[in-house]
């Protein structure tokens, strides 16, 4: 099991959508609630918390205000309570179509309504009291079985998904949650959907759609027959079992999916730990020993590289790089410098990591590429000056390839990236998301959308999605969980005020950073 900050359960945040497709919203003014917003943003995001009394009731806390939803005996609702009281207790009653009914536990009435006419006074459940759960987290993650403590991954040979991985290594461990018709589908890294009988299918048919349920902060997936997904048998094959109520066997955690990368050095060979603790560019194959989990520190923006053998890259004596550190520290942090299609890494000694003649990596270079004219010093021998400063070449540059995002979902400050209806352009402020396909070529990526069309930059920096030929985009991993995308013009892709995706940002910050 991964440790040292690598094993991070996502805090489940979500929006609640009513029968008129409007989101439950917590307003700062007067701590009022309404259902007027057409999209899911910060004011529309909620967290479900178990009741401290250990009963079946839950608490709904606004991510925006940090306060709790409450319902009084006369039906009035607000989001004002800083600490949860009796009126903040609700029962979640899942319905057959996947929606929730929220019932005040102390008063027995149901919560619902439209616009600014919300109350918790209904004695029976009508369409106005039904809410759809829309997850507000990034939908690409790892899935961990609570009972088996094993990760779900795609098993191509058996043509199934199974919860049998000790760690979520490689592209097979990536799952994408697809929100479709008020239910969720589990999409594998090869773009197939998990059906409740354990088969993988190419279309999101009804038996591949699940109602999302929460229990004690964990997730359960209920199929259209009322049964729950669980790992079954010695192999841990993921399919719907017999249970119609979720037990520990049917519960899962969602974990953050950090980028996993391979690096190619100037000798065109993969950086690897296959030969032992030394990190060396000496392999021709791209397998587990050549794959590294990359984490970016939110404060310093420096990164660590964690190997499949269980160690961080670390700076050792005389500038060598070994994969031996068991904890992140100053010596495991590397500063990334983006140089077009290549990246340079600066270690904690202030020097750049380079490839030595034997392929081993060491942080011993003062420059990337040719430095300014070298200083000429030393004794004169035979009438010629001796050069004491060597001229490094491009041994300090690496090609970095993201391997665990063959399919891509992008979210910016205003929402997800999605095809604009009736247009070849892309929106950046949507509550729903489209899934895009990535291919890699010499340090850059081509992005394909709906119908197989490629992304390309058009006039005035507009980004279109119906290209017949691929255009190269460079990915720069700038923050934890966020990247910048650079177009061939040198400009960065950003979400504009109009909601359109454009390549016109000068700096990789703000609206030019994307969750991926």
| Boundary (domain end) residue, out of 342, 376, 400 | 400
CA-closest candidate to residue 294, choices 345, 260, 343: 260
Q: Is the pLDDT of residue 231 over 70?
A: yes
Q: pLDDT tens digit string along 306-315? A: 999 999 999 9
> To the nearest whole percent, how much of the chain has pLDDT over 70?
93
Task: Say if 383 falls within a structural domain.
Answer: no
- Between 214 and 511, whose confidence is greater? 511
CATH number of 214's domain: 2.80.10.50
Q: Is residue 193 part of a domain?
A: yes
Is the model's pLDDT at 129 over the cut of 70?
yes
Tell me if 280 sits within 8 A of 359, measured CB to CB: yes
Tell me: do 272 and 194 sit in the same domain: no
Give pLDDT, residue 379: 39
Whether the per-residue pLDDT at 387 is higher than 50: the answer is no
Same domain flag for 116 and 192: no
DSSP letter, residue 512: G
* Residue 213 confidence (pLDDT) above 60: yes
395 to 284, 363, 406, 429: CA distances (angstroms): 17, 11, 28, 41
SS (H, E, C) 72-91: CCCCCEEEEECCCCHHHCEE
266 in the same domain as 212: no
What's the mean pLDDT in 9-26? 90
* Predicted local confidence at residue 390, as pLDDT: 37
Supply angle C-alpha 126, 130, 136, rounded to 5.
170
Count Cβ neighbours within 10 Å for each residue of 152-166 and write b for 16 or more, e otherwise: bbbbeeeebbbbbbe
**Quick check: 55 and 87 in contact, CB under 8 A?**
no
Are 69 and 127 in the same domain?
Answer: yes
Mark whether 232 and 332 lie in a shared domain. no
Residue 154 tokens read as 């795609």
Residue 344, H or E segment: strand 342-346
**pLDDT tens by residue, 414-430:** 889 999 988 999 999 88
What pLDDT score was predicted for residue 50?
83
Q: Are 371 and 391 in contact (CB under 8 A)?
A: yes
What local confidence, expressed as pLDDT, does residue 97 receive? 80
Write down the pLDDT at residue 370: 57
Same domain, 248 and 266: no
What integer is the mean pLDDT of 457-476?
A: 94
pLDDT of 1 higher than 90: no
For residue 93, what are the domain limits? 13-135
Q: Are 36 and 22 in contact (CB under 8 A)?
A: yes
Both 117 and 144 in a single domain? no
DSSP 242-309: S-SS--GGG-EEEEE---EEEEE-TTS-EEE-TTSSB-EEEESS-SGGG-EEEEE-TTT--EEEEETT
409: its two tokens: 């979902």
Instruction: Render pLDDT for 93-109 as a digit per residue (tens, 0 to 9).
Output: 988 787 899 999 999 99
> Where among 400, 415, 449 does a domain terminate?
400
Residue 483 lies in a domain: yes
Mean pLDDT rounded to a whole number for the chain: 91
Number of domains in the chain: 4
Q: CA-CA distances (angstroms) from residue 139 to 147, 174, 344?
A: 23, 10, 30
Instruction: Give pLDDT, residue 5.
Output: 60
Q: Are 410 and 417 in contact (CB under 8 A)?
A: yes
Residues 131 and 154 in one domain: no
Q: Does the residue 39 lie in any domain?
A: yes
Q: Is the pLDDT of residue 7 over 90?
A: no
pLDDT greater than 50 at residue 479: yes
Question: 216: pLDDT confidence band, cut at 50, 70 and 90?
Answer: confident
pLDDT surpassing 70 at residue 388: no
Do 276 and 325 lie in one domain? The reply is yes
Give the C-alpha distances (Å, rounded to integers) separating 217 from 131, 220, 242, 420, 494: 19, 10, 22, 35, 34
Of 226, 256, 286, which residue is a domain's last? Answer: 256
- CB distance 151 to 142 below 8 Å: yes
Stretch among 146-150, 369-373, 399-403 having the lowest mean pLDDT: 369-373
53 and 145 fall within a common domain: no
pLDDT band, very low/low/confident/very high, at 54 (cuts 50, 70, 90): low
Task: Check residue 245 and give its pLDDT.
Answer: 87
* In contact, 254 and 219? CB cutoff 8 Å: yes
* Span 339-352, average pLDDT: 97
In a domain, 388, yes or no: no
In a domain, 385, yes or no: no
- Mean predicted confidence (pLDDT) in 192-213: 95
Is there a domain that residue 386 lies in? no
Q: What is the pTM of this model?
A: 0.86
Residue 191 falls in which region: left (phi positive, over 0), alpha (psi -120 to 50) or beta: left
Beta strand segments in 374-489, E: 376-381, 384-387, 399-402, 407-408, 416-419, 426-430, 436-441, 444-448, 454-457, 463-467, 474-479, 482-486
Q: Which residue has the higher pLDDT, 211 or 344?
A: 344
Residue 351, token pair as written in the block: 């020097």
Q: Phi-psi region for residue 362, left (φ > 0), alpha (ψ -120 to 50) or beta? A: beta
162 and 124 fall within a common domain:
no
Which residues have C-beta within 8 Å of that of residue 446, sequence separation ≥ 6? 438, 439, 440, 454, 455, 470, 471, 472, 473
Higher pLDDT, 215 or 29: 29
Listed range (276-285, 411-420, 473-482) with the worst mean pLDDT: 411-420
pLDDT above 60 (res 496) = yes
Residue 389 has pLDDT above 60, yes or no: no
Does residue 43 form part of some domain? yes
pLDDT digit string, tens, across residues 78-90: 999 999 999 999 9
Do 17 and 125 lie in one domain? The reply is: yes
């Amino acid at each position: 099991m991964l440790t040292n900050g690598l094993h991070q359960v996502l805090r489940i945040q979500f929006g609640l959508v009513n029968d008129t497709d409007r989101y439950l919203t917590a307003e700062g003014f007067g701590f009022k609630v309404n259902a007027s917003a057409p999209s899911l943003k910060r004011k529309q995001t909620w967290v479900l918390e178990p009741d401290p009394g250990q009963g079946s009731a839950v608490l709904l806390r606004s991510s925006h205000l940090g306060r709790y939803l409450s319902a009084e005996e006369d039906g009035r609702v607000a989001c004002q309570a800083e600490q949860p009281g009796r009126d903040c207790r609700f029962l979640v009653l899942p319905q057959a179509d996947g929606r929730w009914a929220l019932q005040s536990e102390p008063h027995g009435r149901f919560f619902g309504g439209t616009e600014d006419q919300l109350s918790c006074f209904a004695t029976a459940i009508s369409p106005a009291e039904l809410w759809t759960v829309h997850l507000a987290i990034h939908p690409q993650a790892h899935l961990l079985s609570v009972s088996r403590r094993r990760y779900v991954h795609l098993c191509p040979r058996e043509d199934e998904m199974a919860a049998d991985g000790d760690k979520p290594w490689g592209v097979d461990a990536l799952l994408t949650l697809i929100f479709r018709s008020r239910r969720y589908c589990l999409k594998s890294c090869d773009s197939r959907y998990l059906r409740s009988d354990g088969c993988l299918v190419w279309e999101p048919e009804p038996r591949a759609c699940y109602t999302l349920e929460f229990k004690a902060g964990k997730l359960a997936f209920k199929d259209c027959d009322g049964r729950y997904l669980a790992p079954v048998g010695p192999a841990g094959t993921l399919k719907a079992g017999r249970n119609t109520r979720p037990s520990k066997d049917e519960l899962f955690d969602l974990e953050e999916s950090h980028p996993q990368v391979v690096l190619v050095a100037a000798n065109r060979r993969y950086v690897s730990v296959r030969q032992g603790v030394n990190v060396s560019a000496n392999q021709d194959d791209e397998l587990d020993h050549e794959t590294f989990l990359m984490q970016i520190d939110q404060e310093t923006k420096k990164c660590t590289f964690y190997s499949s053998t269980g160690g961080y890259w670390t700076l050792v004596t005389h500038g060598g790089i070994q994969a031996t550190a068991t904890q992140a520290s100053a010596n495991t942090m590397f500063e990334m410098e983006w140089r077009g299609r290549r990246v340079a890494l600066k270690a904690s000694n202030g020097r750049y990591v380079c490839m030595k003649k034997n392929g081993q990596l060491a942080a011993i270079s003062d420059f990337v590429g040719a430095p300014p004219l070298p200083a000429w010093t030393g004794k004169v021998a035979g009438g010629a000056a001796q050069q004491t400063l060597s001229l490094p070449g491009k041994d300090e540059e690496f090609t970095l390839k993201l391997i665990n995002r063959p399919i891509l979902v992008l979210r910016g400050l205003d929402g997800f990236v999605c095809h604009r209806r009736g247009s070849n352009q892309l929106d950046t402020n949507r509550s729903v998301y489209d899934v895009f396909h990535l291919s890699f070529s010499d340090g850059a990526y081509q992005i394909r959308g709906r119908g197989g069309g490629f992304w390309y930059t058009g006039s005035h920096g507009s980004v279109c999605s119906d290209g017949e030929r691929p255009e190269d985009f460079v990915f720069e991993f700038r923050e934890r969980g966020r990247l910048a995308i650079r177009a061939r013009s040198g400009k960065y892709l950003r979400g504009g005020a109009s909601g359109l995706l454009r390549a016109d940002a000068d700096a990789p910050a703000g609206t030019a950073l994307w969750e991926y």
